[in-house]
Each structure stands twice: as C-alpha cells, then as structure tokens.
A = this chain, B = another copy of it.
Amino acid sequence: MSLIVTGTIGIDTVHTPTGKAEGVPGGSCAYFAAAASFQTPVRIVAAVGGDWPAEHRTILESFDNVCLAGLETRPDSKTFAWGGRYLDDMNQRETLYTHLGVVEEDPPAVPEKYRDSEYVFLANTHPGVQAHLLSHFPDRKLAVADTMDLWINIARSELVSLLGQLDGLALNYEEAEQLTDTRNPVTAARKILEMGPTFVTVKKGEHGAILVHQDGVAVLPAYPAELEHVVDPTGAGDSFAGGFMGYLASTGKTDFRSIQTALAWGTVIASFTIESFGLNRLREITRADIDERMRKFQAAARVG
C-alpha cells in the first residue's frame, strides 16, 4: 500500500556531550522516510529552499524506496534549519536556534499523482496545516499525525478539529497529560480517543511507548541501548513513526494487533537512528540488520 509523509526537510547542527555534527540532513520527513524505506516505498511532501545542499539530496536518494517527486524547491527561500545541544543526560536538550524558512510560507503542494496515497503520516506542524494536507488524500486507509506541546497551547481548537479526521495520534507522555489534564498516560489516551481517533501512541523516549486503541492496550519498552551506542537522539521519534507506518503500509493492515506489531518495528529502527548523527546509521544498515535486532529485542522483551 502507498505510504506518504508530510513534514519538514531540514539542515541540522547537533552538539552532544561527545561530538558535533554540522549541517547534516534533518527534519521529520528525512528521518521518517529513511526509516520507512526498509519496509515499503515512501513518498515525501515537503519544501526546501535554494540553500538546500545537493549532497543532502544525494543522501536521501541513496535510500532505494524514497520518492522525492513531492519535494518542492523554492529557490528564493531558506531551508528549515535547527541547531540543538544535548546535555550530559541525553534525554534533555536545548534548542540553540530554529530558522523556520520555508516552514513559515505556504504549505508544500501535494502532487496530483500522490492523491491516491493510502497510508498518510502528518509529521508535527500546525494542526491547521496538517488538516489542509490531509484533505488531499481522499482514498486514505490510515491517517496518523504527530503533534507537540506548542500546538496544544496555541492551536488547541484546530488540533481537536484535526483529531476528528485522524485514525491515530502520536504524542509524548507529557503532551498527552497536557492535552487532557490527566496525570496517567493510559487514561489520558482514552480521553483523546473520545475526540475521534481509533488509537493514540504515547511516546516515552527511552522508556518505550504505550498504545491505547479502541480494541486494546499495548505497552512496549525501548530497545535497551548501551551508553556508547547512544550518539545522537535526534530523529528518534520520526524514525519510530517511519518504522511504524512503514510496517503497516507493507502489510496493508490497520487492526490492533498489527498496530502493536508496528510499534516494535518503530522501536527497532529508531534504535539504529540514534547510534550516529543524522541519517548516517540508517545509511549503513540493511533489512537483515533490522531483522536481527528485532529478534534480539523480542528475546529481551519477552514476558513470562
């Protein structure tokens, strides 16, 4: 089944306690598409500016299944750029700068030939823009959006309106609590289901994820990474989403058990992303590496 992601393509500069990467490929679409491409072809809808490095295009094109036909170049605009610094506790980071560039302009155009997309992921942006993009996919079978605290604060009504059109919502633990004023992720997610979606994925970073679906609840730990393997957490959430949606699109399924299984694929692929800066680690690995880590993860997370 066809998979599409709408979001950002960015230029990232990341400082960590042990290193630095300047001007590497970033943005939700880049991480999502690279992660999903191990399982299924993936279409990108995003915009970049005239300053977008040709080398970044080459990197994205190096992932066989990534289709860039929906990547719009605006010669007189600037590419979205983000700089951040991770603290000694890699679960914490500070933003050094955010240059919105094209993200402040009109949303990217959805190519006519992409309108038949069935699995749709709306990466994090203003929920009004997400709703606008979603309206281009009348044949969709599964629509999932990511959101964040900023939109809960300043665009709550647009977010609630969007929820009525979604199958799934992904958000962080604190954001689930913030959206529902409920200090329990399971109960908070249930309240979000009442707003429309069939399922909510509560992301907990190094502590894994909780899925609350109208047909059941699932919990999953993160992959237990050693300190030396956690190089740069940037893109973990978008890679998780890419692995998750990539699995579902590859199977054509949308039921609870399939969504539960998809969580594990998202977890495993994200565990590779954080092992290096940018897309470096995802460029090195093969599907066989992912399958092998899935077996390790299943053994480590076996219950009873």
Contacts and interface: CB of A to CB of B under 8 A. Distances in A.
B225 A186 contact: yes
A264 B261 CA distance: 20
A253 interface: no
A297 interface: yes
A224 B186 contact: yes
A302 B230 contact: no
Nearest to A209: B221
A224 B260 CA distance: 14
Interface stretch (A113-121, A136-144, A211-219): A211-219
A227 interface: yes
B303 A264 contact: yes
A226 B184 contact: yes
A103 interface: no
Nearest to A298: B303
A227 B182 contact: yes
Given A204-B207, A294-B304, A303-B298, A186 B219 contact: no
Contacts of A90: 183
B183 A300 contact: no
Given A219-B221, A221-B208, A227 B301 contact: no
Contact of A300 (B88, B89, B207, B218): B218
Q: Taking the full assembly, how many copies of this chain does it contain? A: 2
Interface in A245-304: 260-261, 264-265, 294, 297-304
Interface in A156-202: 182-187, 190
Contacts of A294: 304
Centre residue among A183, A223, A261 by max chain B CB count within 10 A = A183
B303 A219 contact: no
B224 A221 contact: no
A302 B218 CA distance: 8
A265 B228 CA distance: 31
A220 interface: yes
Centre residue among A216, A224, A225, A299 by max chain B CB count within 10 A = A224
A60 B298 CA distance: 39
A303 B224 CA distance: 14
